[in-house]
A and B are shown apart, each in its own frame.
Chain A
Amino acid sequence: MKENSEEDFDSLFVEDKRSGVKYIVIIIVLSVLVLTAIYAYLSVSSVRDRMKLAQVQAEGSPQINSSLLTQLKEKAWLESRLKMAAGDSIGLSIDLEQHRIQLELKGVVLLSSKIRDTSISGFFRKMDGNVYFSTFGTPLTIQQFKSSIAKNPFKVVQAPKDTIAAMAAVDAAMKKDSLKDENVFWTVKLDRGFDLDIQGIDSVAEAQNKYKFGKGFEFERNLKNIASSFQHILRFTKPDYNPEILISIPENEAKAILRALPNKALVTIRI
């Protein structure tokens, strides 16, 4: 009996040449390459459009003296937080320079957490002074939340019929495991076309593998991305390019921030 070899594999196509297997395989490979090339072209076009939009939005604002950019960023950061403090709602301030994320209410810091790991789109690093101030000079507003855990967990309980049923309900509640292990990952869409992703991690090493492809909420997100990319290819439309900020903080704080923020919360960012 002959062993399998490359020669055998080639002969497989030679034998089946008439049936067209080879051509179908080539067609499939070419189709995938063409689809990928189309999607790559549309994706890069969307980046260019996003950059043009940012430039247009920044036009008309006074010229920024680039040698004083650091001081001006500090000023914009404080001004934006003051605007946030004028409201009655809990807001979020993210200082990527000092690696801190804070919950604030009327100017008072309620929770301050050290950021353990960050990753930001190159879009933010490429901003000049004018684009930066038109983007981060005032607070951004959260448009939409998506999370791996319930944002507002609430349960409906039927009142017990008598005292025996009431005592049984209390016992059952006490037995419930309150230390449920949850992967905390949430993402918000901000009003200037940015995505903010917060992941809960309890060590930096965890950040490297916990939310990679194939795990829960991230897996679902990746599948949706692939599905939507097919739609864009079929319609020949550009996908949205939303520059992204990914922040890793301790799990319990990621959960507390998610639950504390109101639906249209304000967010102040310093990069």
Chain B
Amino acid sequence: MIRNFFIYLAVLIVGILFFASMVLFAIPAFQESTLALTGLSSSSSGSGEVGTDKESIEADVNKLQKRLDSFTPTNAYMVVNTSDNHFFLYKGKQLIRDGVCSTGKNEKLVSAERKYEHVFYTPFGVRKVLRKATNPVWKKPDWAFIEDGMPIPSANDPSRWETGTLGAYKMEIGDGYMIHGTIYKRRMGMSVTHGCIRLLDDDLEAVYKAMEVGSKVYIY
């Protein structure tokens, strides 16, 4: 009786494995061979013929390529990879500098007691440098105090103003987001910011000098 049970079981397992291997490997291969035998050509009944003249197609291709190339800014622009925390500074299609950066930590800070929540992330898309400044002073927002477990001071309390935290330069790119320096150099290359893009001192200086107001920043 037990021996019979094991025979059924063994045959059943072999059968299931056979079926699985057919479904995963043999039948897809069979489908492919069907394609090889049949072919896939259409009987076009549309009017006219496209592509009769090689020169005209090549002229069209050149025109399209130029149009596509025209989208790339000719002045300096920056590309930021938030997944790897790496930035690239280009002029036209030429890479002029790249290096490590830090971007948003993708975190929602919640304080049930204070009925407060704030989301920290670096938004994807294209932005422009709106303002540039040297030796920026940082006005700490409410979340900076909540995150540090401190009481929130009044709007113009002196404790809100900090010098040196943002490094030697800042470039505002809209909605409170900035490209700036940092005093937390050990955390470079990590997703730790509140949405801003932090650069090391030398990189920040190079980017600040190359980018003008209106220069584009592409973030992904």
Q: Which residues of A contact B (CB under 8 A)?
A: 12, 16, 19, 21, 24-25, 28-29, 31-32, 35-36, 39-40, 43-44, 47-48, 51, 54-55, 58-65, 68, 71-72, 74-75, 78-79, 81-82, 85, 88, 90, 103, 105-111, 121-123, 125-128, 130-131, 134, 152-166, 173-174, 178, 213, 222, 225-226, 229, 241, 252, 255-256, 259-260, 262
Q: Is the CB of B44 within 8 A of A32?
A: no
Asked if B146 lies at the interface with its beta carbon under 8 angstroms from chain A, I say yes
Q: CB of B156 within 8 A of chain A?
A: no
Q: CB-CB < 8 A to B190: which residues of A?
A: 178
Question: Which residues of the other chain, A, contact B176 by a CB distance below 8 angstroms?
Answer: none
Q: Are B23 and A159 in contact (CB under 8 A)?
A: no
Q: Is B35 among interface residues, defined by CB-CB distance under 8 A?
A: yes
Beta-carbon contact of A28 and B110 below 8 Å: no
Q: Which of B71-79, B161-169, B197-205, B207-215 contacts A (4 or more CB under 8 A)?
A: B71-79
Question: In the assembly, what is the distance between CA of A157 and CA of B41, in Å?
Answer: 57
A133 CB to nearest chain B CB (Å): 8
Q: Considering the chains assembled together, what is the distance between the CA atoms of A37 and B179 in angstroms?
A: 62
Q: A158-B111, A159-B146 are in contact. Are A130 and B44 (CB under 8 A)?
A: yes
Given the known A-B contacts A111-B220, A126-B40, A173-B192, are A51 and B35 also in contact in the complex, defined by CB atoms under 8 Å? yes
Size bracket of the B interface: 35 or more
In whole angstroms, how far apart are the Cα atoms of A49 and B171 in the complex?
57
Please state if A159 and B27 are interface contacts (CB–CB under 8 Å).
no
Residues of A near B23 (CB, < 8 A) are 39, 225-226, 229
Main secondary structure of the interface of A (DSSP, over half): helix
Chain B positions within 8 Å of A156 at CB level: 107-108, 110
A54: nearest chain-B partner, CB-CB: B40
Whether B68 pairs with A62 at a CB distance below 8 angstroms is no
Which residue of the partner chain, among A65, A72, A110, A162, contacts B220 with CB atoms under 8 Å?
A: A110
Residues of chain A lying within 8 A (CB to CB) of residue B106: 152-155
A-chain residues with CB within 8 Å of residue B116 when the two chains form the complex:
159
CB contact under 8 A between A29 and B15, given known A90-B220, A106-B126: yes
Smallest CB separation, A213 vs chain B (Å): 7
> Given known contacts A36-B19, A126-B35, A241-B31, is B42 in contact with A55 (CB within 8 Å)?
yes
Q: A155-B108, A157-B110, A260-B83 are in contact. Are A47 and B35 (CB under 8 A)?
A: yes
The answer to whether B148 touches A166, judged by C-beta atoms less than 8 angstroms apart, is yes
Does B32 lie at the interface of the complex (its beta carbon under 8 Å from any beta carbon of A)? yes
Is A105 within 8 A of B125, CB to CB?
yes
Q: Contact partner of B71 among A47, A85, A157, A159, CB < 8 A?
A: A85
* CA distance in complex: A47, B28 (Å): 10
CB of A131 within 8 A of CB of B41, answer: yes
> Given contacts A62-B50, A159-B114, A252-B83, is CB(A75)–CB(B40) below 8 Å?
no
Q: Bound complex: CA of A30 vs CA of B20, how far in Å?
A: 15
A68 to B112 CA separation, bound complex (whole angstroms): 66
B8→A159 contact, CB < 8 A: no
- Of all A-B residue pairs in the complex, the 10 with the closest CB atoms, nearest first, are A107-B71, A159-B111, A256-B83, A126-B40, A260-B220, A78-B64, A166-B149, A58-B42, A32-B15, A160-B149
